[in-house]
């Protein structure tokens, strides 16, 4: 019987892994998303009943685990070296001459690869199973970010069957990256929270991989291209191209654009061919990597103290363009912040046409000293965001005019105010249509209430027609009105109404995030939902109670309190409630025996008889709620061996502390 279940679980996992590979690696899915979800749910259900069969490489274990306090160090078996780079074809020829000389006239080939603007990582597999993933770090030691890397679905947790031989031990190396689309989305979100945006996708990717909570990493839409190996035991490969082919057959995602080149001229041609085209890729590249293909020849060439002699990076210089600053307009953000935007005469830059650039804030205009009508230099930082670098003041004709900060909001005409503690200028009219639009878009966005179909064009019309006066009105939209909007077919109107209805059942953390409380990002929303369990309790919470939550600082806490003191906001919440939006956490499943019903537990330290995940699962099954941080609402803190600061916090707040034995008794001597 047990054997049967185990083999059923294994078969399901194999099917899911196969589909993962088809979807994430081969880009050729064979089943619908629903069918895939059904398989995953079935596996999850089986594992819930038989937790003894859960293995770390199960597809259900990609996103999970507690947020880490810090990362452990991981030592690379073979160091991850950096590489020399150049911006000139001349230096590439010099590199070629050195290789030629050192190989004493033997014939050789190069392999060229796109240099993805991401973060190098090393994945360690033992007998074909993923056991650790780490950042490059200083090349010798990196951070162990295994749990974060596991959230990248194209990283196989186990080698695929058709690989020719599985090595006993192998370091697989690649570049984790964020797509341009993901990068723009995250920066938009950061800006709406009043945070500094990431400068480029590499920083965004690095920042994401260093998040301590894997659940958040999973939402950052990261991916990876594998470009090589470090240490290998029990497998012999002769050339780089063979390495890539082998890794591809083992289920890894390699970049399709690498190319074997006979000589340096072909390499230089390849570099040139990507100069323009790279703008159209869905990820950013900052150059081309050139490697000698034959591995024995690489060994013969060796390494200098810091970089291999068989490898070189050709980097594209950042492209600049001169164009005209036609105008400076201002935009109103979700919280009323006014930001200036440069309107440019369209100009071709790094593969795309640029006609707008953010100017960040009014100080930036002052710093640049630009005037409307100026000729300005623009550059794409990280090859994505257009940026005004400077004005070509020598080209002025006298017809340029200075920009003045507007006194009134461009959307509603209200007088603008500068906050006492900030440089930003804001529109403080709660009924400002520009803010209502932004708030509604945020409310409906993918990481908030995830209402598909409620995009820019639709929200613009709904607000302009006054069908939406605040985001609470979303739930009172009538089919006939939606159908009557421009560019809205009957079918899409139906879908939108359906998506709105479905969103009522969302988890509490999504709702908390969707409310658009200033400074409350996804992580803070999670913590608030976990600790207060319902909007009612959250809105009653005192500043002290909110500040007591680990991970919530005073700025966020003050912002939450003032949000729930605001009459307008409470009115919207009432609307949401009356519409039937779920206002509390799901809590225990109805089948729970209820022994721990309604009790909140925080685990700290190491338990002898349970893993963290098992203990949490047990608490949930018995109707209780595991939480990651101690607050006044915590009922018990279970202290294992080597407890952390949560124990001090529990003492401070007078929360009851129990040890593992007490906990075992409580759960019924399991
Ligand atoms: Zn306004």
Radius of gyration over every alpha carbon of the chain, rounded to an integer in angstroms:
28
Number of H helices, E strands in the chain: 24, 22
Nearest Cα neighbor of 535 from 566, 560, 557, 501 is 560
Q: How far is the CA of 493 from the centre of ligand 1 (A)?
A: 29
Of 274, 298, 315, the last residue of a domain is: 315
**CA atoms within a 13 Å half-sphere pointing along the CA-CB vector of 286:** 19
The enclosing domain of 277 has a CATH number of 3.30.470.30
Can you give the length of the chain in residues? Answer: 670
- Considering the domain architecture, whether residues 258 and 373 belong to the same structural domain is answered as no
CA of 419 to the centre of ligand 1 (A): 15
In this structure, what CATH number is given to the domain that contains residue 549?
1.10.150.20
Q: What is the pLDDT of residue 592?
A: 40
Note the pLDDT of residue 588.
36
pLDDT of residue 24: 81
Is there a domain that residue 584 lies in? no
Reply yes or no on whether 236 is catalytic: no
Asked, for residue 585, whether it belongs to a domain, the answer is no
Distance 491 CA to ligand 1 centre (A): 34
479 and 522 assigned to the same domain: no
Q: Give the pLDDT of residue 420.
A: 57
Taking the CA atoms of 263, 264, 266 and 267 in sequence, report the sign of the dihedral they define.
positive
Q: Which of 84, 174, 166 lies closest to 134, judged by CA?
A: 174
What's the gap between Cα 365 and its chain centre? 31
**Catalytic residue, candidates 2, 11, 41, 115:** 115
Return d(Cα 361, Cα 330) in angstroms, integer: 10
105 and 236 in a common domain: yes
For residue 338, how far is its CA from the centre of ligand 1 (angstroms)? 9
Complete DSSP assignment for 23-40: IIISS---S-HHHHHHHH
* pLDDT (0 to 100) of residue 589: 39
The verdict on 196 and 245 lying in the same domain is yes
Domain annotation covers residue 259: yes
Number of domains in the chain: 6
DSSP element (H, E) containing 195: none
217 within a domain of the structure (yes/no): yes
- Residue ranges of the alpha helices (H) in 126-278? 146-149, 180-192, 201-209, 214-217, 240-249, 264-277
Structure token pair of residue 363: 């100080």
Shared domain check, 222 and 82: yes
Residue where a domain terminates, one of 39, 61, 83? 61
In contact, 542 and 239? CB cutoff 8 Å: no
Q: Which residues contact 198 (CB under 8 A, 6 or more apart)?
A: 183, 186, 187, 190, 204, 207
pLDDT tens, 187-198?
Answer: 888 877 767 778
Q: Is 590 within the bounds of a domain?
A: no
The answer to whether position 428 is within a domain reads: no
Question: Are the CB atoms for 401 and 346 separated by under 8 Å?
Answer: no
Residues 350 and 215 in one domain: no
What pLDDT sits at residue 133?
95
Q: Are residues 141 and 158 in the same domain?
A: yes
How far away, in angstroms, is 428 Cα from ligand 1 center?
7
Point out the domain boundary residue: 263, 295, 315: 315
- CATH number, domain of 30, equals 1.10.287.610
Q: Looking at the domain assignment, is residue 164 inside a domain?
A: yes
Q: How far is the CA of 415 from the centre of ligand 1 (A)?
A: 8
Based on the domain organization, do 293 and 343 belong to the same domain?
Answer: no
Considering the domain architecture, whether residues 332 and 219 belong to the same structural domain is answered as no
The first and second tokens of residue 330, run together, are 């201002």
Q: Which residue ranges in the chain fall short of pLDDT 50? A: 588-593, 670
Cα–ligand 1 centroid distance for 500 (angstroms): 27
Is residue 106 classed exposed, middle or buried when 0-12, 13-18 and 19+ CB atoms within 10 A define those classes? exposed
Q: Distance, CA 583 to ligand 1 centroid (Å)?
A: 30
Tell whether 516 and 495 lie within a shared domain.
no
Question: Which residues, at least 6 apart from 107, have a Cβ–Cβ distance to it below 8 Å?
Answer: none
Distance in angstroms between the alpha carbons of the first and the last residue of the chain: 22
Q: Do residue 266 and residue 329 come from a single domain?
A: no
Q: Specify the CATH number for the domain of residue 403.
A: 2.40.50.140
Q: Separation of 183 CA from ligand 1 center, angstroms? A: 28
Would residue 425 count as lying in a domain? no
Q: Are residues 192 and 289 in the same domain?
A: yes
Residue 274 structure tokens: 């990507």
Q: Which of 359, 296, 286 is nearest to 319 (CA)?
A: 286
pLDDT in tens, 479-491: 999 999 888 888 9
State which residues form the domain around 523. Answer: 508-578
């Amino acid at each position: 019987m047990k054997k049967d279940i185990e083999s059923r679980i294994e078969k399901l996992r194999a099917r899911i892994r196969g589909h993962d590979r088809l979807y994430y690696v081969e880009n050729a899915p064979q089943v619908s998303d629903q069918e895939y979800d059904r398989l995953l749910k079935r596996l999850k259900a089986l594992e819930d009943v038989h937790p003894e069969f859960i293995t770390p490489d199960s597809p259900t274990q990609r996103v999970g685990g507690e947020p880490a306090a810090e990362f452990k160090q991981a030592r690379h078996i073979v160091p991850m070296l950096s590489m020399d780079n150049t911006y000139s074809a001349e230096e590439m020829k010099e590199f070629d001459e050195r290789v030629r000389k050192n190989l004493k006239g033997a014939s050789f080939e190069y392999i060229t690869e796109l240099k993805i603007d991401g973060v190098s990582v090393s994945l360690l597999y033992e007998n074909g199973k993923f056991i650790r993933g780490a950042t490059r770090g200083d090349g010798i030691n990196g951070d162990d970010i295994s749990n974060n890397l596991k959230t990248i679905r194209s990283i196989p947790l186990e080698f695929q069957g058709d690989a020719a031989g599985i090595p006993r031990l192998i370091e697989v190396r690649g570049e984790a990256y964020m797509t341009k689309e993901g990068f723009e989305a995250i920066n938009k979100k950061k800006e709406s929270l009043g945070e500094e945006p990431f400068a480029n996708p590499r920083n965004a990717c690095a920042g994401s991989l260093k998040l301590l909570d894997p659940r958040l990493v999973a939402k950052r839409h990261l991916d990876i291209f594998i470009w090589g190996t470090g240490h290998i035991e029990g497998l012999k490969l002769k050339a780089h191209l063979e390495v890539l082919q082998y890794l591809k057959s083992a289920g890894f995602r390699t970049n399709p654009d690498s190319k074997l080149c006979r000589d340096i001229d072909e390499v230089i041609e390849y570099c040139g061919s990507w100069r323009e085209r790279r703008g159209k890729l869905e990820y950013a590249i900052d150059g081309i990597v050139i490697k000698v293909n034959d591995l024995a020849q690489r060994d013969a060439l060796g390494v200098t103290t810091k970089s291999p002699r068989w490898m070189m990076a050709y980097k594209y210089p950042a492209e600049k363009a001169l164009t005209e600053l036609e105008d400076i307009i201002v935009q109103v953000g979700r919280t009323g912040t006014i930001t200036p935007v440069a309107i440019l005469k369209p100009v071709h830059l790094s593969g795309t046409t640029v006609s707008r650039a953010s100017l960040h804030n009014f100080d930036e205009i002052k710093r640049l000293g630009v005037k409307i009508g100026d000729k300005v230099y623009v550059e794409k930082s990280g090859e994505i965001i257009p940026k005004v670098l400077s004005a070509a003041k020598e080209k002025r004709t006298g017809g340029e005019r200075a920009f003045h900060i507007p006194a009134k909001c461009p959307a509603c005409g209200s007088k603008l105010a500068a906050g006492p503690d900030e440089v930003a200028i804001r529109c403080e009219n709660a009924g400002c249509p520009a803010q209502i639009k932004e708030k509604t878009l945020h409310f409906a966005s993918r990481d908030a209430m995830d209402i598909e179909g409620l995009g820019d064009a639709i929200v613009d019309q709904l607000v302009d027609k006054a069908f939406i006066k605040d985001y609470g009105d979303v739930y009172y939209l009538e089919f006939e009105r939606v159908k009557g909007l421009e560019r809205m077919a009957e079918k899409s109107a139906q879908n939108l109404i359906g998506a709105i209805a479905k969103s009522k059942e969302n988890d509490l953390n999504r709702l908390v995030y969707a409310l658009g409380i200033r400074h409350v990002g996804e992580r803070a929303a999670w913590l608030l939902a976990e600790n207060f369990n319902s909007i009612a309790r959250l809105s009653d919470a005192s500043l002290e109670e909110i500040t007591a939550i680990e991970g919530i600082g005073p700025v966020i806490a003050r912002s939450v309190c003032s949000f729930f003191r605001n009459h307008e906001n409470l009115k919207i919440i009432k609307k949401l409630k009356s519409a039937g939006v779920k206002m509390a956490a799901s809590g225990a499943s109805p089948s729970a025996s209820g022994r721990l019903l309604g009790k909140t537990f925080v685990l700290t330290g190491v338990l002898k008889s349970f893993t963290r995940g098992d203990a949490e699962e047990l608490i949930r099954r018995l109707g209780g709620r595991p939480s990651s941080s101690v607050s006044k609402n915590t009922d018990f803190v279970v202290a294992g061996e080597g407890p952390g600061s949560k124990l001090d916090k529990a003492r401070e707040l007078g929360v009851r502390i129990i040890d593992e034995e007490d906990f075992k008794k409580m759960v019924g001597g399991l």
